[in-house]
Structure 1
Amino acid sequence: MRPIVSWFVRDPVASNLLTILIFIGGVFGAMSMGKEVFPSVQVDYIRVMMPYLGAGPQEVEEQILIPIEEAIYSIDGVAGLDSVAWQGGGQVMVEVEVGYDKTKLTNHIKTNIDTITTFPRESERPEVTEQVFRERVMTVALSGDVATDVLIDFAEKVRDDLSRLPQVESVELQGKRAPVISIELEEYQMRRFDISFEEVVAAVQRSSITMPAGSIRGENGTLQLQTSGQAFNESQFNEILVSSRPDGTKISVGDVASVMETFEETFFEARLNSEKMIFIQVYTEENPDVVASTDAVKNYVLNETSFLPGNLKINTVQDHSIMYQDRLNLITKNAIGGLILVFIILMLFLRPILALWVSFGIGIAYAGALWLLPAAGVTISMASMFAFLLILGIIVDDAIIVGESIYRHQEEGYEVHEAAELGAHRVMVPVVLAVTTTIILFAVMFFLPGSFVKAIWAIPIVAVIALSFSLVECLCILPSHLAHMGPEKPPRTYVTWQLKYLRQKCSNTLLKICNNRYQPFLAKALEWRYLTILCFLIALIFANSLLNAGHIKKQFMPNVPWDYVGLEISMPDNYSKTQMMSLLKKAEAAAEELDSDSVLKEQGLDGKVVLNTLAFLFGYDITVWIELSPGVTEVIDTAIVGERWIHHLGKIPEASNYQALTGFGAKEDQGFSVLINSNDSTQLNAAKTYMLKSLMEIHGVSRVLDTSESSGMDLNISLKPDGNNFGVGLTDVANQVRQGFYGAEAQRIARDREELRVLVRYPESARKNVETLSDMRIRTSDGKEIPFYSVADIEYVEGVTRIRRVNRERTSRIRAYEQKSLITTDEISKIVFDEIRPELARKYPSVRLSKDGFSSDETEFYQAATKLLITAIVIIYGLMVLTFKSYLKPLGVLTAIPFGLMGAIFGHVLFGLEFSMMSWMGVFAATGVVVNDNLVLIERINQLRQGGLEVSQALMRAGKDRFRPIILTSLTTFIGLMPIIFEPSEQAQFLVPMVISLVFGVLFATTVTLIFVPSIYLTAASFRDYLRGTKLPTTSL
């Protein structure tokens, strides 16, 4: 390594070419990087989806979900199963084991499901698909007072146009219900003409066909034979012959039924700003570029939609490029501010040309990172931009140490080339080791578990690459530049004279602090080294007690502010469509009231709050999103907007789920969530009631909901004991009731690129009325018609609208919402699992509790983080042992690591922040910097010891020699990140805990490096000499 450094010092052309190469690579790398708001996350799930139209959740669970679960749960590669049954179908989400081939597992699952022979005849074929992450970048909404079919036709045209844009990877038309041909028979008409549902179905299947019949190959060519009688519209179906009477009368479908083209009977409505809409989602997949995609779509909407009628509006909403640009501007502003502050700090203590070249190294490290990031799959996103900001003060540390060493050798009178070589050689070992340790501590973040951690993998990737290039720069490029620095010339202007005077003043002040304050204090600390060590240990124990005793609130997941606020409401299935629509409109009206909300105005919002409102009704679930006006998230926490929205809407006692979604990941981390699992439904329901009651008794819990199941009423049909006397079985009753109320599927036909189902059933008014059963006739195989109630009974029973199963067990999810000023979700979790769970297990032995959502990630994260940190420290210790040729000396370096955590804790106390996952990642980063400073100090001590100085003298001299670079590295780290610490924008607040941990961990560890580590070193030397029977000289103190 030394010859390489010397070669670059003696050959400036090589260093210049390397610099140019890195910058050119950085430019091309930046041009090829994708752009997205937040990084894409690999989704390790496979979905098995199976419609069972007309069936209730319990039938879906018993006949669809359980057979699928039993068929696939034991397959290699399956890590877990999460199943949901709803009205008309269900799905099983298969979690894939880490590292397992997802495609291979998908094929295996398909094979096993194909062996199931017990699926109901009326169910659809199962769909097994790998889940692929797609980032939605924009929504194109068509709305207006037009007929639904007209709206769909134009939406399909827009979708097709957008899919052909080269900048758009994927589009999906949503808000469209499937078309249906409904052949509706009145019961009295069926009796009048003596026909049944089966006869009409058979007539359609018999007459409405198009079938190839081969070909005739004659002398004059080939003729294709086919029968063409397929009906496609109402009039064609009306003409289909059902039967002929003996008198020659022909009865057609139109004589006995009403035929109409309609849509699937789903509780579905989509609205934009209170108008009916249909919408197209625009996605990016493999090559995200949110800016290019949204620009292309906006250009199309602006210039290519003149074909739309005047009463049909087209709008672009949920434009993620706006969020991207806002976040990019925010972090760029803070990065530039931090860079300027770092340069100013360097100018105050180093020669201007030296400060310039040290700062220039930041640009080289950034350019090198940009060069290689596309190959690592990293895009320009909030995570990667924050990573560049985070490492601003870290990557300059090694350059400061090398530059300061070269500068000191020049001040000692060495020739400039010799000073560059000697200065770089003197600190090369600690710098290489220091950067390597920091890289290791960032690299272990790759292995941290959790979906959110995966979303911010860009941070360690950027850090590792940038640190690698900063090492190349400080050892190969920086010495070459400083070798041509030359003696400092006298200032020629008043400004340069003032700058030099200020720099000398700062340098002299720092020198005085070192000589007059630090050195005497260090001497006393070494003299009273045991008391010094004890004081530091007491401070460390006190800091840990603040964290572990609950004086600092802990919150695992940070809430990432978003430019949207959502509202979710789930209602029981005894709510009618009219009631659901009324509730949807109330939620829209409540959103409109936010513009004039007095509380929001007091918080600093003056003007329009809501830009757009998107409302969705699906079954008994309502989801409403409000798109906030530009600048709102810079002024106020979106959680307050969500609270005010709920305030205006008011309480909804019947809701099984009622919550505001106020940030990225908010849905999963809204309140505390726990899963109650059991296959014993009686114990499950009893345990659920007990848990709801226990949670409400916790001080600080505002409300508790059972979000897994919505209760309602089911109508259970059973055969009377003497029903068989009529020649009727339960299957006959069930089939004919299904035909009347859901429909008998006569055909599926392809028309205009979509599948059209033909259903034979009762009219809509009859299907909505239970009294229809009174008029219904059950038809036997010999043509008899028997009143429904003569053969069957009905019973109203409690039912559910949704059933969830986790790992083959029925599951209920209980969610508790906290008052954040009184309690945190971590504290609720501790009460539940330490106090409530033992009593629950005693009362209901078959019931198990498990964490849900991000709560389930928390334990796994902390366990993995502890193991990874220990692993990293062991690796670092091994590298130091190889470097120092000693087993004891590296321990002196590692003793400072816990004090980085101490600084992080005190920083959170000072700013009143919760300790989150981001805080712990900041501790990882701080650990690397802490080790760096200790390495520089220990290496200098070792050099002085090898030069013949006694231990105490070496400690005092090393502290003096390394005082300035250690202080400078700490100052640059703090100053470089100061803008983001004091950034008022709500958008940046989730980043602040990580920055606080890094900054205060480094600041507190600086004291540890300069005072505690020398005391430990001297104590170890005393102990070693005691064992050898010698006495440590103390006269130098």
Structure 2
Amino acid sequence: MENRLGISGRIAAGFQRNAITPLLALVLLLAGIFATLITPKEEEPQIDVTMANVLVPFPGASARDVEALVARPAEQVLSRIAGVEHVYTVSRPGMAVITVQFEVGVPNQTALVRLYDTVHSHADWLSPQLGVGTPLIKPKGIDDVPIVSFTFWTADIERAGFELQQVARATETELKRIPGTRDVATIGGPGHVIRVNMDTERMNAHGITAQDLRAALQLSNASQPAGSLVSGSREVLVQTGTYLESAEDVRKLVVGVEDRKPVFLRDVAEVSDGPDQPSQYVWFGTGAAAEQSGIAQQGLFPAVTLALSKKPGANAADVARAAMQRLDNLRGSVIPEGVEVTVTRNYGKTANDKANQLIGKLAFATAAVVALVFFALGRREAIIVGIAVSLTLAATLFASWAWGFTLNRVSLFALIFSIGILVDDAIVVVENIHRWHTLEPDTPLWQLIPKAVDEVGGPTILATFTVIAALLPMAFVTGLMGPYMSPIPINASMGMFISLVVAFVVTPWLAQKMLKNVDAHHHEGEDKMTRRLDGFFRRIMTPMLHAQRGARNRLMLWLGVLALIGASVALPVVQLVVMKMLPFDNKSEFQVVLDMPVGTPVEDTARVLNEIGAHLATVPEVTDWQSYAGTAAPINFNGLVRQYYLRSAPEQGDIQVNLVDKTARSRQSHEIAVSVREAVTEIARRNGGNAKVVEVPPGPPVMSPIVAEIYGPDYDGQVEVAKRVREAFESTADIVGVDDTVDEAAPKLVLRVDQPKAARMGVAQADIVEVVRLGLSGENVTPVHGGDNKYEIPVRIQLPAVRQSEVGNLLAMQVRARDGKLIAISELVQVAETRREQILYRKDLLPVVYVTGDMGGKLDSPLYGMFDIRDKVNGMALDGAPGLYGTLGEWFISQPDDPYAGYQLKWDGEWQITYETFRDMGAAYAVGLVLIYLLVVAQFRSYLVPLIIMAPIPLTIIGVMPGHALFGAQFTATSMIGMIALAGIIVRNSILLVDFVNQQVAEGMAFGEALIRAAAVRAKPIGLTALAAMIGAIFILDDPIFNGLALSLIFGIFVSTVLTLVVIPVLYYAAMRGRIARLQNPEENSA
């Protein structure tokens, strides 16, 4: 018998009574348990997203000089690095920031080695005579995103930010000892400093300049081992000099001599030891739902935030849990009474909760599929399928860990989505064993099982590989979206292959054990169902299975199917189905980003932020919020890509808003964010600022959902064009959060040195510049020593804060001439009023101005907003301003070929990532179809039959689009993944039908009868596998992101399965009836 069996039958025969089979099953189970326990849990997949900022100081240089002498040469050098995707530069007075963004997937270490090597090996791009500082490289990656943040706050105003900062910094040291921690940093607080507030009048009276104070501090804070003295039999070490160790030491420092008497520093300046002048503010506010988070006090309190990130590969849940426990242990010791600590971020907990929730869904989905088999085939058959699926999942979890995936939302959703297709092989094999056992109750199981497995083995192998062929090409999607979603095709493909092995190896052994003492159902029971299905399909298909009389009926069927496909495709065109990259997730946080006019003091920024916060506190779902003025909140993945960590100017700030758990509220986070947007933007607008409500993106983030990049031959012209494009943004309905990179005009004073006069008086311009800088900006001239401070305590010389508001106080400072005389700055300079320079931006070697926005309203999809704006700017006439001419050009995919030919706009943002993702997914879909075709050709040795088998693939659109319209869901990237998966899933049905027809025809059955018989007999396994896939998809239907995937599977499988059972037999008849007739009647043909 075994000699006549195919490979699947031989495998089943070899393992059905083999003692090693249960041991293999045990190994798979233990491997799955091991993987579940050891695989790190994270909320999002780990992606190699490496970027680095190269900071190049150029003190005193204008933005134009910085761009011309630093930014341009730097970007030309850095853009040549292998693996670099984009190079962005920002040129501001005195500083160039070059951001190097590597392609997704380039390993972090490899990228940074290339960057450091290039920067240091091309140091000669900067002339040493320019006065440009040494480039500083600050790399950033996904592991720099804090997973936990603790906000320290107090109701005791006396303590305020300085003491909170000291407590947080003491806590840093303790948390850093936790295994797996990477960076622990405190945000907020004024810093500890010994301030030397210069008294200009007293300094002038004693003949002391700011430069004298700086030199005295630097030269007096010196100590060195001088060697040793040998006296008798003892060596004595000699140390020369002592360090400054306290503010009192600074006060007693001699800074000059007058009338042979020493002048002490306390004689010419006020020395204080304590908090620095605040350059940033952090506040903690409570919301309407504060009590639900255990926050007893209500109000607004000074605060600092401590953010903790983890090392690569560390388990976020374990690190976060250990940090929480360590912090609790520090209360009452390092953290004193009266200092409250609120957990304002815990991605470890959310990752663990999400993983546990999805593992629970995985279990329920498995149980639901087993229940389906129980009702369809029986209790023992359901147990066999349940064990097979459990072993498949266990082995897949182990394979996922071995591949390097973590347990995150995407990898677990991949398994839940796969449940329905992982069970297919087991269901088909068990159902056929069940059918054979029913038809041949007297045949021993050890003889029957290999034949039953062999009958469906060929099509099952082919069907499994067609699903893999459809899914696997998606693993090669580029950009951020590819690696982000890669667990789906890879885990599902590995799971499909494992399920095939389990179906042929373990399932026959289980059937041998579970069914050997069971009386088979009588043939009549099986025949009754078959007769019903036979009668049903006979009534439907017989009118179409006649060569001549059925032609009209077949034509009507084809026209009806084409009409349904056309109507389904039209749904997105008429906007009954909205296209979007990804829908918003239901998070427990969102952010408000505030930009005040350039030159706004940090105190005013903090005031506006807290005014916005007061409104947010009235929102029922808000538990707490933290405002950050002059600094950035702990970044998330979105902030990493958008570089929010660089937002440290006085006019910049943001608010981190935390919501109650999603289980405790009826509104999703997106609804809440939309509801506050109008009030938040109005408060900012009323105070002269611009506020944007920023949600955590559901997938890979971009600079902004809608981005217009303006290129052209002249930067001033680009700025003017950007202003007009912004007007188009603002005048378009439902466009919100409009902003640009054009700085508003802000005042600037230039102290122009009278060169001839300064030369006559023997004063160098550099000395004048130095004195003014010391008075206004100050300088940390030297640190104090001693103590156990983790951070340096600098000694800073500066004018008092109250004397920094008037230029006259600067002009009263004196500078020493070459002959030793003191000359007031006012005698050497002229004060000129001007405006601050525009910050200059470049992208990929071209100057650019950005205009950004987002889409609100009913459609809530940036793509539609972008095309609405496009209607206004496409071909826009550029006139009415000097230097502007022609019309505005437009680009979608790449930068303009000739940006200097005229002013041109390039669309970016979500459009770019959507285009790249759907382009690559479309290519993956096409590759999958080609692979499926090749596999089917190899199996059936025909070029026509594979086309018939693949015919149901277009039928999936009839279910997918109406399903999205019915639920009011957007068609997203996950919906596309579902459609790609459907190509492989639905072909399985066709293969089972066609293979059965060929078997029946080979046994002599009439072609038409074989088609009806195939539909009747294979309807049950096809229906079971379809229901199993739909049941698996039901469990991800409630997830905002993967809702589209679920809808594609549920409705696509349902509609295409129903149509396949009729369309494929009829199509097979229409295409093959002549060939089959010639094969069945060779004598007639020869005659």
Same fold per TM (> 0.5)? yes
- Is 1:587–2:587 an aligned residue pair? no
Query: Map of 1:921-1000 to 2, 5 A cutoff?
Result: 921-949=977-1005, 951-981=1007-1037, 983=1038, 988-1000=1039-1051
1:448 is displaced (CA, Å) by 1.6
Q: Structure 1's 510 and 330: CA in aligned 2 closer, same or farther, altered over 3 A?
A: farther
Q: SS of the counterpart of 2:771? A: helix
Say if 2:198 and 2:269, in contact at 8 Å, map to a contact too: yes
Q: Structure 1's 209 and 631: CA in aligned 2 closer, same or farther, altered over 3 A?
A: same
Amino acid at match of 1:762: L
Equivalent position of 1:604 in the other structure? none
1:610 is displaced (CA, Å) by 2.5
1:915 is displaced (CA, Å) by 0.9
Determine which of 667, 692, 713 is the counterpart of 2:747.
713
Equivalent position of 1:31 in the other structure? 37
Equivalent position of 1:494 in the other structure? none
1:208 is displaced (CA, Å) by 1.7
1:524 is displaced (CA, Å) by 3.0
Query: Map of 1:685-724 to 2, 5 A cutoff?
Result: 685-702=719-736, 704-706=738-740, 709=743, 712-719=746-753
Say if 1:748 and 1:758, in contact at 8 Å, map to a contact too: yes
Q: SS of the counterpart of 2:428? A: helix
Mean CA deviation greater in 719-728 or 326-335: 719-728
Q: Structure 1's 156 and 761: CA in aligned 2 closer, same or farther, altered over 3 A?
A: closer
Say if 1:561 and 1:633, in contact at 8 Å, map to a contact too: no
Mean CA deviation greater in 658-667 or 959-968: 658-667
Provide the rounded CA distance (Å) in 2 between the counterparts of 1:160 and 1:679. 53
Determine which of 18, 23, 41 is the counterpart of 2:47.
41
Provide the rounded CA distance (Å) in 2 between the counterparts of 1:361 and 1:801. 66
Equivalent position of 1:140 in the other structure? 150
Determine which of 166, 169, 176 is the counterpart of 1:156.
169
- Is 1:676–2:694 an aligned residue pair? no
Provide the rounded CA distance (Å) in 1 between the counterparts of 2:413 and 2:115. 36
Mean CA deviation greater in 111-120 or 682-691: 111-120
1:178 is displaced (CA, Å) by 4.7
Say if 1:155 and 1:278, in contact at 8 Å, map to a contact too: yes
Determine which of 271, 278, 285 is the counterpart of 2:311.
285
Provide the rounded CA distance (Å) in 1 between the counterparts of 2:753 and 2:624. 53
Determine which of 510, 513, 518 is the counterpart of 1:481.
510
Q: SS of the counterpart of 1:644? A: helix
Equivalent position of 1:496 in the other structure? none
- Is 1:257–2:308 an aligned residue pair? no
Q: Structure 1's 63 and 593: CA in aligned 2 closer, same or farther, altered over 3 A?
A: farther
1:685 is displaced (CA, Å) by 0.9
Q: Structure 1's 431 and 2: CA in aligned 2 closer, same or farther, altered over 3 A?
A: closer
Amino acid at match of 2:388: G
1:209 is displaced (CA, Å) by 1.0
Q: Deviations over 1:129-162 (max 9, x none)?
A: 3635245332223222326553333322222112
Equivalent position of 2:328 in the other structure? 302
1:214 is displaced (CA, Å) by 4.3
- Is 1:761–2:798 an aligned residue pair? yes
Equivalent position of 2:568 in the other structure? 543
Q: Deviations over 1:73-123 (max 9, x none)?
A: 233332211234568855322122456531431232331463344477585
Equivalent position of 1:83 in the other structure? 89
Mean CA deviation greater in 873-882 or 694-703: 694-703
Give me the CA root mean square deviation. 3.5
Task: Give the share of equivalent positions with the same residue, in percent.
Answer: 20
Equivalent position of 2:136 in the other structure? 126
Amino acid at match of 1:1011: V
Q: Structure 1's 784 and 541: CA in aligned 2 closer, same or farther, altered over 3 A?
A: farther
Determine which of 124, 148, 172 is the counterpart of 1:115.
124
Q: Deviations over 1:266-307 (max 9, x none)?
A: 631122232222332232233333333233223223334221
Mean CA deviation greater in 507-516 or 227-236: 507-516
Equivalent position of 2:463 in the other structure? 434
Provide the rounded CA distance (Å) in 2 between the counterparts of 1:272 and 1:361. 53
Q: Deviations over 1:566-608 (max 9, x none)?
A: 211111123233322221221221122113xxxxxxxxxxxxx
Q: Structure 1's 785 and 563: CA in aligned 2 closer, same or farther, altered over 3 A?
A: same
Equivalent position of 1:15 in the other structure? 21
Say if 1:271 and 1:616, in contact at 8 Å, map to a contact too: yes
- Is 1:267–2:279 an aligned residue pair? yes
Q: Deviations over 1:338-368 (max 9, x none)?
A: 3333233222221221122123221111111
Query: Map of 1:203-602 to 2, 5 A cutoff?
Result: 203-215=216-228, 220=233, 222-245=235-258, 247-261=259-273, 267-273=279-285, 274-307=300-333, 308-413=335-440, 414-486=443-515, 511=530, 514-526=533-545, 527=550, 528-595=553-620
Q: Deviations over 1:824-844 (max 9, x none)?
A: 311122345576244378436
Determine which of 948, 952, 956 is the counterpart of 1:900.
956
Say if 1:46 and 1:130, in contact at 8 Å, map to a contact too: yes
Provide the rounded CA distance (Å) in 2 between the counterparts of 1:989 and 1:1020. 43
Equivalent position of 2:184 in the other structure? 171
Q: SS of the counterpart of 1:580? A: helix
Determine which of 645, 648, 658 is the counterpart of 2:691.
658
Amino acid at match of 2:806: N
- Is 1:863–2:919 an aligned residue pair? yes
Q: Structure 1's 840 and 287: CA in aligned 2 closer, same or farther, altered over 3 A?
A: farther
Say if 1:564 and 1:625, in contact at 8 Å, map to a contact too: yes
Equivalent position of 2:770 in the other structure? 735
Say if 1:362 and 1:470, in contact at 8 Å, map to a contact too: yes
Mean CA deviation greater in 303-312 or 48-57: 48-57
Say if 2:207 and 2:822, in contact at 8 Å, map to a contact too: no
Q: SS of the counterpart of 2:876? A: helix
Q: Structure 1's 847 and 773: CA in aligned 2 closer, same or farther, altered over 3 A?
A: farther
1:746 is displaced (CA, Å) by 3.1
Say if 1:186 and 1:762, in contact at 8 Å, map to a contact too: yes
Equivalent position of 2:676 in the other structure? 645
Q: SS of the counterpart of 1:559? A: coil
- Is 1:843–2:887 an aligned residue pair? yes
Q: SS of the counterpart of 2:48? A: coil
Equivalent position of 1:917 in the other structure? 973
1:1011 is displaced (CA, Å) by 2.5
TM-score (norm 1): 0.89
Q: SS of the counterpart of 1:317? A: strand
Amino acid at match of 1:13: A
1:313 is displaced (CA, Å) by 2.4
Q: Structure 1's 717 and 28: CA in aligned 2 closer, same or farther, altered over 3 A?
A: same
Provide the rounded CA distance (Å) in 1 between the counterparts of 2:69 and 2:664. 48
Say if 2:52 and 2:137, in contact at 8 Å, map to a contact too: no
Q: SS of the counterpart of 2:1042? A: helix
Equivalent position of 1:603 in the other structure? none
Q: Structure 1's 52 and 141: CA in aligned 2 closer, same or farther, altered over 3 A?
A: farther
Unaligned runs of 5+ in 1: 492-499, 596-608
Provide the rounded CA distance (Å) in 1 between the counterparts of 2:349 and 2:998. 55
Q: SS of the counterpart of 1:209? A: coil
- Is 1:1002–2:1053 an aligned residue pair? yes
Q: Structure 1's 996 and 467: CA in aligned 2 closer, same or farther, altered over 3 A?
A: same
Amino acid at match of 1:133: D
Provide the rounded CA distance (Å) in 1 between the counterparts of 2:1084 and 2:138. 77
Amino acid at match of 1:406: I
Mean CA deviation greater in 661-670 or 966-975: 661-670
1:32 is displaced (CA, Å) by 0.9
Say if 2:597 and 2:744, in contact at 8 Å, map to a contact too: yes
Q: Structure 1's 749 and 901: CA in aligned 2 closer, same or farther, altered over 3 A?
A: farther
Provide the rounded CA distance (Å) in 2 between the counterparts of 1:757 and 1:65. 32
Amino acid at match of 2:716: T
Mean CA deviation greater in 669-678 or 72-81: 669-678
1:478 is displaced (CA, Å) by 0.9
Equivalent position of 2:625 in the other structure? 613
Amino acid at match of 2:284: L
Q: Structure 1's 483 and 763: CA in aligned 2 closer, same or farther, altered over 3 A?
A: same
Mean CA deviation greater in 252-261 or 46-55: 46-55
